[in-house]
Every structure is written in C-alpha cells, then in structure tokens.
Amino acid sequence: MVCECTLISLGWVLLLYLLCRLATVLYNLIYPFFLATPINVHKAAGAKWAVITGSTDGIGKAYAFELAKRGFSTILISRSQSKLNAVMEELKKECGVEVRTIAFDFASGSVDEYEKTVLSMLRELDIGILVNNVGVSFSYPEVIHKAEGGLQRLADVDIVNTLPVTLLSAAILPQMVQRNNGIIINISSATAYSPLTLLSVYSASKKYVSWFSNILQKEYAQTNIIIQTVCPMLVTTKMSKVSRASFFFVTAEDFAKSAIQTIGIMNETTGCFPHQLQVEIIKSLPEWIVVPYLSRKSKLVRKKALAKKVREMKATS
C-alpha cells in the first residue's frame, strides 16, 4: 500500500513537471513572437545613441539598420575602417540618421587601447542601447590541439567573444544607472545550450556571454535597465558560412527585425520563432542524445572542410 502511494505520488510529480515544461515551451514559442506587444524602445533606451559592435556584416549590421530605421543615431565599431565607411554611407542614405564609426581590433586585450580608442568616445555620448555582437569562430570544427591558427587563434576567439561584452557593459552601465534606463543586448549563441565538441572554445565563450548576462539581469533587477541575452542558431552570415536562407536558416535582416521585437519581453531568447523551435527541442532532449547528434554534425562539417582544403591545395599545386 505504501509502495503504491509512493508510485502514485511520483507519477503526479512527473506529470506536474511535464505540464510545467510544456507550458514553458509553448510560452517561449508563442508569446514573444505572436502575442506580445513590442515595447517603446525609445522610452526604454532613454537616449538617442545605439552602439553596435561587429557592425559591418551579418547580425551586427542588421541590428544597426533596424535601430537606425527606428530613429536611433548609431555608433558602429568594427575592425575595418573601409567597411565601416561603407555601412555608414548606407545608413545615412537609407535611414537619414547620424552615424559615427570607431575602427578597433577587438582581438586586442589591452584595457589601455579600449580606453584610448573606444571608451573615451562612448563616455561623451548618451548611450541608450548597447549591442554586444562582435564575435569570431573557427574556419571549421576541430579538436583544440589541432585548431586552425593554433594558440593565437584560440586566444583571439576567447578574447573577442568575452572581453568586449564585459568591458563595454561595465563602461556604459554607469550612465544607464544614473538615468535609470537603457538597453544592453548581448549576442550569445545556441551553442551555449549544449557542450559542442570540436568547437570547444567558441561554445564555452558563448556560454560565458549567456551566464554573464544572466548575472547582470539579477544585479540590475531593481533598475529599469533591460539586459537581454540573444542566442541564435545559424543565420545566413559570412561567419556561419550559410549562404541560402530557408525556414530554419533565416537572413540576418529578418533575424534582427524579429529579435528587436522581443526587447523588454524576453530576458533570453533565440531571437526568432524558427530558432526558438529548434532550441526548445534541444533543451527537451537528454544530453546523451543531443551531444552525440551535434558531434556527428560537427564531424561532418569538418570532413567537408578538410576535403575542400585538399581540393584547393591540389588545384594550386
């Protein structure tokens, strides 16, 4: 009798857990993308300037255009001044907003260089939105001791993916705290949701971004500052090497438009419905299923990349 009661109790607990999990999945999928009313981003930002790092390509550039279309003056920060100039002219022509640029190599780990080149300018302006987007990965998946580019590339990926989000957030938060408003958007990756073999440093660095954002949300919970983590799946960008859009592989433009609609609604999101659907499936499965599956995908990408390198070497020899 006691055993039977215990089993019944455990059954009810399991059922309650499954119902809560189902409710969470449905909420994450439906509410932010189909039901929620977007907030007044200008009011939430409290200032006219939007800073976007890694803003000459892909998601960063798309965020810059979406925010400019909403009337925000933009500060573009990337490594190449020529690319910055090209995007600046596009923004001015298409959106008619004030645009400033800062050429900076985020592989620099020097705080002095940050202060001299980036932070000194940002502190002079009222920053309403900070989009920490800059990030780098590897040419193809590989175990850490065979990573293309060696130790220097490993260091670059680690530094670029973690240091800018840390320093820029710390530098701009004081003025947001003083105003009691502002928006920080930290672009992480869906690779943060599961240990991704053959991309260990990249996956771990994106986990840092997600964890860092989650902690900031708690530290500044008593303010009106919005701190959002965005964890996209693959988008058609140069870094992802996905060239053709589909239902799951959305364009950077469509992604940014969707993601901006979730500001102030979701503390953490993948940014768009197709990506959220994939992530909810991944999060619902046990790690012993997800990790081997993702590992096989990584190995397949590596195999194709190495085969391509061999063909290119033969063609040039």
What was the pLDDT predicted at 289? 94
What was the pLDDT predicted at 149? 94
The secondary structure of residue 39, as a DSSP letter, is: P
111 CB burial (10 A radius; 0-12, 13-18, 19+): exposed
Other C-beta atoms closer than 10 Å to the C-beta of 30 total: 13
What was the pLDDT predicted at 213? 98
CB 52 within 8 A of CB 133: yes
What was the pLDDT predicted at 242? 72
What was the pLDDT predicted at 246? 85
Residues in contact with 60: Cβ distance below 8 Å, sequence separation at least 6, in sequence order? 52, 53, 54, 78, 131, 133, 134, 187
Residues in contact with 51: Cβ distance below 8 Å, sequence separation at least 6, in sequence order? 74, 75, 77, 122, 127, 129, 130, 131, 168, 172
What was the pLDDT predicted at 214? 98
- Ordered per-residue pLDDT tens for the chain, 317 residues: 557 778 787 888 888 888 998 999 999 999 999 999 999 999 999 999 999 999 999 999 999 999 999 999 999 999 999 999 999 999 999 999 999 999 999 999 899 999 999 999 999 999 999 999 999 999 999 999 999 999 999 999 999 999 999 999 999 999 999 999 999 999 999 999 999 999 999 999 999 999 999 999 999 999 999 999 999 999 987 766 676 788 889 999 999 999 999 999 999 999 999 999 999 999 999 999 999 999 999 999 999 989 988 888 888 77
What was the pLDDT predicted at 6? 80
Q: Which residues pair with 75 in a beta bridge?
A: 51, 100
Six-digit token pair at 194? Answer: 């599961």
What was the pLDDT predicted at 4? 75
What was the pLDDT predicted at 310? 85
Residues in contact with 170: Cβ distance below 8 Å, sequence separation at least 6, in sequence order? none
CB 138 within 8 A of CB 157: yes
What was the pLDDT predicted at 80? 96
Tally the C-alpha atoms within 13 A of residue 100's C-alpha that lie toward its C-beta.
14
Considering the domain 31-316, what is its CATH architecture? 3-Layer(aba) Sandwich (3.40)
Residue 311 sits at φ, ψ, to 5 deg, of -60, -40
Answer positive or negative: Cα dihedral of 270, 63, 267, 203. Answer: positive
Q: Is the pTM of this model over 0.85?
A: yes
Q: Measured between alpha carbons, how far is 144 from 90 in angstroms, rounded to an integer?
A: 39
- Which amino acids are annotated catalytic? 202
